[in-house]
Amino acid sequence: VSSLRARAVSGIPELHAGDDLAALIVAATGPEQPSDDQVVAIAHTAVSKVEGAIRMLAEVQPSERALQLAAAAADAGVDHATDARAIQVALDESSEVLRAERGVLICRTHHGFVCANAGVDASNAGREDSLVLLPRDPDTSARRIRARIGDLTGATPAVLISDSFGRAWRHGQLDVCIGLAGMQPLDDWRGRTDASGMLLRATWLAVADAVAAAADLARAKDSREPVVLIDGLQRFVCDEDGPGATALLRPTVEDLFR
Amino acid sequence: VSSLRARAVSGIPELHAGDDLAALIVAATGPEQPSDDQVVAIAHTAVSKVEGAIRMLAEVQPSERALQLAAAAADAGVDHATDARAIQVALDESSEVLRAERGVLICRTHHGFVCANAGVDASNAGREDSLVLLPRDPDTSARRIRARIGDLTGATPAVLISDSFGRAWRHGQLDVCIGLAGMQPLDDWRGRTDASGMLLRATWLAVADAVAAAADLARAKDSREPVVLIDGLQRFVCDEDGPGATALLRPTVEDLFR
């Protein structure tokens, strides 16, 4: 019988730049250390904090464009999107702004992720005068954490880094995978057949995104539990680091909604 | 410690119009019957089949528009999207076509879901000459199945109906919730504070979609296991049926990507 199990790891302390996140995870898991066939899912804010991917608002000089966007948000009555410095930080993290309406900024980040405010987040920063960015290269972060867990324990579980993204046509946010090592991001059934022998023409499953979503269900949002251990995904876990979350990005040439 | 567990139910037989799906689920779960605090996640094809939401290709008369779209797909070399009858069925299920390019048809269904081909699916139909539609009213389907499980067992678990949707900016498909009863679809943290006391301004979690994604990880795509039981979601399960998956739909007036 197939089965999936996800459980939050308690006891990860408040994190700061330079902290050894892998060591803190290993310490917090206690005697039940991560194993080779598990996935360690980590909310990106934890990775961003230890990597120092933080901007202090006081050090941001908003551009003319950021000031205009802030004024437009104020005109639209969107009070929480009127800080031109926060908008500037989102612009700095973006290669392209897809939409800027009613205080909503939909960006393509330098990594290629399409999300609100380029993934820049005021909550969970730990202080009101700072913003948490996405890690600079989340796949590399995942590989580094995976290797370090291997050094510390002898086991190399898959490591998945997630962020909560909104969706174009649905309410609410869903955690998606933004960094990955040791697991295949996609499960390709195209050209294979289903139980009835029918060709599965389009079936190409974003398993890493499903794992990110499942992990988020195992913790409460106010619980300070950035790490979740997941069992039951042996068929997707692999020895090599694999292509990472980058493989989940649809190339802009295929984008029908620019 | 928070924990999530999902396991596929084996032994659901091949389904036909008029079958009592709730009774088949109860029979297949055996002595470990669904309980009030569980979620029963069901792949929509199972619901569509018992409801007879199937179209026979031989009975479809393609319109001029369907013939044009099929010809355009053939010109673009997209061989699997050249059956004008299948395109006609997708058009019949749509209130609006958002994009029609390179054999890809992005539709808004009559329910309001935005997805490829209006959710019409050739695979899992069980026969090559038929197509599976989405259930006509998946929230009502979920409520009916929930009530019937209650009649049979005395327990009323939440019932969630899912389909696999592609995403605008990411590769692969992810299961999302299209029908729901007995569980809150969204978890609203807006205005509440995180562990650091910071205001969670935008945090509004699409928990029903996360559950759909998690459920799909508990089965293999060729395993004929449309039903997955999920534990650990007590905080989202409720006595009343609730607003259903309809509450997950972003109104078109807020749609930035029409």
CB contact under 8 A, B172 and A209: yes
Angle between helices B21-29 and B44-51 (to 10 degrees): 130
DSSP secondary structure string for all residues of A199-218: B-SS-EE-HHHHHHHHHHHT
CB contact under 8 A, B173 and A216: no
Report the mean per-residue pLDDT for chain A.
92
Query: Mean pLDDT lowest for which of A112-126, A236-250, B91-105, B149-163?
Result: A112-126
CB contact under 8 A, B174 and A205: yes
Q: Which residues from B are below 8 Å from A202, CB to CB? A: 80, 116, 123, 166, 173
Q: Which residue has the higher pLDDT, B221 or B182?
A: B182
pLDDT at B98 exceeding the cut of 80: yes
CB contact under 8 A, B187 and A221: yes
CA distance A68 to A83: 11
Q: What is the pLDDT of residue A220?
A: 74
- Please report which confidence band the pLDDT of residue B30 belongs to, taking 50, 70 and 90 as the band edges: confident
| C-alpha dihedral sign at A230, A234, A239, A245 | negative
Q: Which residues from A are below 8 Å from B4, CB to CB? A: 4-7, 214, 217-218
Q: What is the pLDDT of residue A196?
A: 67
CA distance A165 to A172: 8
List C-alpha distances in Å: A49 to A44, A85, B196. Answer: 8, 20, 14
Query: How many residues in chain A?
Result: 258
Q: What is the pLDDT of residue A7?
A: 95
* Closest chain A C-alpha to B201 CA, distance in angstroms: 8
CA distance A151 to A121: 32
* Closest chain B C-alpha to A152 CA, distance in angstroms: 24
pLDDT at B150 exceeding the cut of 80: yes
Percent helix, strand, coil in chain A, to 5, is: 30, 25, 45
Q: What is the pLDDT of residue B196?
A: 67
3-state secondary structure chain B: CCEEEEEECCCCCCCCCCCCHHHHHHHHHCCCCCCCCCEEEEEHHHHHHHHCCEEEHHHCCCCHHHHHHHHHHHHCCCHHHCCHHHHHHHHHCEEEEEEEECCEEEEEECCCCEEEHHHCECCCCCCCCEEECCCCCHHHHHHHHHHHHHHHHCCCCEEEEEEEEECCCECCEEEEEEEEECECCCEECCCCECCCCCECCCCEECHHHHHHHHHHHCCCCCCCCCEEEEECCCCCECCCCCCCHHHHECCHHHCCCC
Q: What is the pLDDT of residue A198?
A: 66
Q: Which residues from B are below 8 Å from A224, CB to CB? A: 195
Q: Rounded to 10 degrees, what is the CA torsion of A111, A112, A114, A116?
A: 30
**pLDDT above 90: percentage of residues in chain B:** 77
CA distance B163 to B155: 25
pLDDT at A1 exceeding the cut of 70: no
Interface test with B, best of A57, A78, A171, A227 (most B CBs within 10 A): A171
CB contact under 8 A, B2 and A211: no
CA-based nearest residue in chain A for residue B112: A169
Q: Which residues from B are below 8 Å from A130, CB to CB? A: none
Q: Which residue has the higher pLDDT, A31 or B125?
A: A31
Query: Mean pLDDT lowest for which of A107-121, B124-138, B146-160?
Result: B124-138
Of the partner residues B195, B217, B220, the one whose CB lies closest to the CB of residue A214: B217
Query: Is residue A60 helix, strand or coil?
Result: coil
CB contact under 8 A, B221 and A205: yes
Q: What is the pLDDT of residue B25?
A: 97
Average pLDDT over residues B50-78: 94
* Closest chain A C-alpha to B53 CA, distance in angstroms: 18
Of the partner residues B207, B213, B250, the one whose CB lies closest to the CB of residue A209: B213
CB contact under 8 A, A173 and B204: yes
Quickly tell me which residue has 């269900």 as its tokens.
Answer: A217
**pLDDT above 90: percentage of residues in chain A:** 77
Structure confidence by residue, pLDDT tens digits, B195-236:
667 667 678 999 999 999 999 999 876 677 999 999 999 999
Closest CA to B200 of A105, A212, A56, A125: A125
* Closest chain B C-alpha to A176 CA, distance in angstroms: 10
Q: Are A4 and A230 in contact (CB under 8 A)?
A: yes
Average pLDDT over residues A76-87: 88
- Please report which confidence band the pLDDT of residue B78 belongs to, taking 50, 70 and 90 as the band edges: confident
**A104-132 as b/e, with b when 16 or more CB fall inside 10 Å?**
bbbbbbebbbbbbbbbbbbbbbbeeebbb
CA-based nearest residue in chain B for residue A6: B4
Q: Which residues from A are below 8 Å from B126, CB to CB? A: 196, 198
Q: What is the pLDDT of residue A50?
A: 97
Question: Which stretches does DSSP call E strand in chain A?
Answer: 3-8, 39-43, 54-56, 94-101, 104-109, 114-116, 130-132, 158-166, 173-181, 187-188, 204-205, 227-231
Q: What is the pLDDT of residue A47?
A: 98
Q: Which residue has the higher pLDDT, A5 or A126?
A: A5
Q: What is the pLDDT of residue B126?
A: 59
Between the ranges A10-14, A194-198, B208-212, where is the mean pLDDT highest? Answer: B208-212
pLDDT at A81 exceeding the cut of 90: no
Q: What is the pLDDT of residue A258?
A: 80
Q: What is the pLDDT of residue B173?
A: 96
Q: Which residues from A are below 8 Å from B124, CB to CB? A: 194-196, 198
pLDDT at B141 exceeding the cut of 90: yes
pLDDT at B167 exceeding the cut of 70: yes
Evaluate whether ipTM surpasses 0.85.
yes
CB contact under 8 A, A167 and B206: yes
Structure confidence by residue, pLDDT tens digits, A168-195:
999 999 999 999 999 999 998 887 776 6
Question: What are residue B188's phi and psi, to 5 degrees?
Answer: -100, 110
Interface test with B, best of A3, A98, A170, A249 (most B CBs within 10 A): A170
- Please report which confidence band the pLDDT of residue A257 belongs to, taking 50, 70 and 90 as the band edges: confident
